[in-house]
Amino acid sequence: MNQEFTKTIGMFDSGVGGLTLVSEAQRQLPREKVIYFGDTANVPYGDKSTSQLIGLADSAVRFLIQRGVKVIVDACNSTSSVALDFLKETHDVPIVGVINAGVQEAVDKTENGRIGVIATSATIESGAHEKEAGKIAPSVKVFGQACPRFVPLIEEGRTNSLEAHRAAHEYLKPLQEKGIDTLILGCTHFPFISHVLEGVLGPSVQLVNPAVGTILQLKNLLEGEGMLNKSEERRNFELRDHEYYVSGDPEAFKEAAEKLLNTSLGLVYQIAIKGGETGEVVR
């Protein structure tokens, strides 16, 4: 058996959003340990330029490779939309993004062929979801809506605040007017406010959380490469068993994460990371 199976999975995001994928990995891949990096010193990513996003993503990947991971999940739509090809070409470790899985599920679910995407400004401006849908189902129409206020609210744990509800009504109205029947949560932070979104949209619009399909793709990759951990030594990793690193305040990250996930996260470590055109990690 390929001894790579004993190594960990690396994941990175701008902040707490990628924890939605860690939670899903815990469900689908209970024997796999995750090393998670949240670039909280630079959150949000949605207002960053393409070159900045590539540099930040490259720095995150380099850090995770230093930690000896066997595969990496780019758990950020903003970087997946503009940096994924660069990351795959630059690094030998397999890297999985989050765009494809969400689009594929939305295409499978839509009945009227009208799909909405809510995401950061960077993701919407990239047109990544529209391009992916064009490859899978050219007849489907995809409508994007940037939601810049959501990520800061979620990072602050204000997922049920008046501001969150007001922002949801404002952002979703144009998509409702387009007649969408399916909505892709095009930012891994957004599942934390799914209850708010459902309250605005009602039962006629299906929400797509790309975390489910992304982790399924990851599982298939691990199985195909002989890297799936089948060890009997540890059967069920819990969220507190994984390793967490952030570039900002570890206590603030831990507090926000535990409030959102309603569980203990364990230790969170701080590292210094600088994202330039090529990326640099300072330990």
Residue 278 is part of which domain span? 3-98+212-282
Which residue is listed with tokens 């490259």? 58
pLDDT at 59: 97
* Residue pLDDT, tens place only, 14-28: 999 999 999 999 999
Same-domain check for residues 78 and 105: no
Q: Please state, for a pLDDT cut of 90, what percent of the chain lies above it.
A: 89
Same-domain check for residues 204 and 155: yes
* Residue pLDDT, tens place only, 83-111: 999 999 999 999 999 999 999 999 999 99
Where among 160, 192, 210 does a domain terminate?
210
* Residue pLDDT, tens place only, 177-227: 999 999 999 999 999 999 999 999 999 999 999 999 999 999 999 999 999
pLDDT at 235: 67
149 vs 232 pLDDT, higher one: 149
Q: Which of 98, 187, 208, 212 is catalytic?
A: 187
Where among 210, 228, 243 does a domain terminate?
210
Q: Which of 60, 76, 151, 222 is catalytic?
A: 76
If one counts the domains in the chain, the total is: 2
Same-domain check for residues 235 and 186: no
Distances (CA, A) of 93 to 5, 66, 124, 132, 215: 13, 11, 27, 23, 17
CATH number at 76 reads 3.40.50.1860
**Residue 187 appears among annotated catalytic residues:** yes
Instruction: Write phi, then psi, for 262 (nearest 5 degrees).
Output: 55, 45
Same-domain check for residues 205 and 118: yes
Where among 159, 187, 210 does a domain terminate?
210
Contact 69, 9 (CB under 8 A): yes
Q: Rounded to whole angstroms, how far apart are CA atoms 147 and 171?
A: 6
Give the chain's mean pLDDT: 94
Same-domain check for residues 94 and 117: no
Ranges 91-105, 127-141, 169-183, 221-235: which has the least confidence: 221-235
Q: Rounded to whole angstroms, how far apart are CA atoms 62 and 217?
A: 22
**Residue 147 appears among annotated catalytic residues:** no
Same-domain check for residues 119 and 46: no
CA 273 vs. chain centroid, Å, equals: 19
pLDDT over threshold 90, residue 248: yes
Same-domain check for residues 178 and 142: yes
Same-domain check for residues 119 and 198: yes
Same-domain check for residues 38 and 170: no
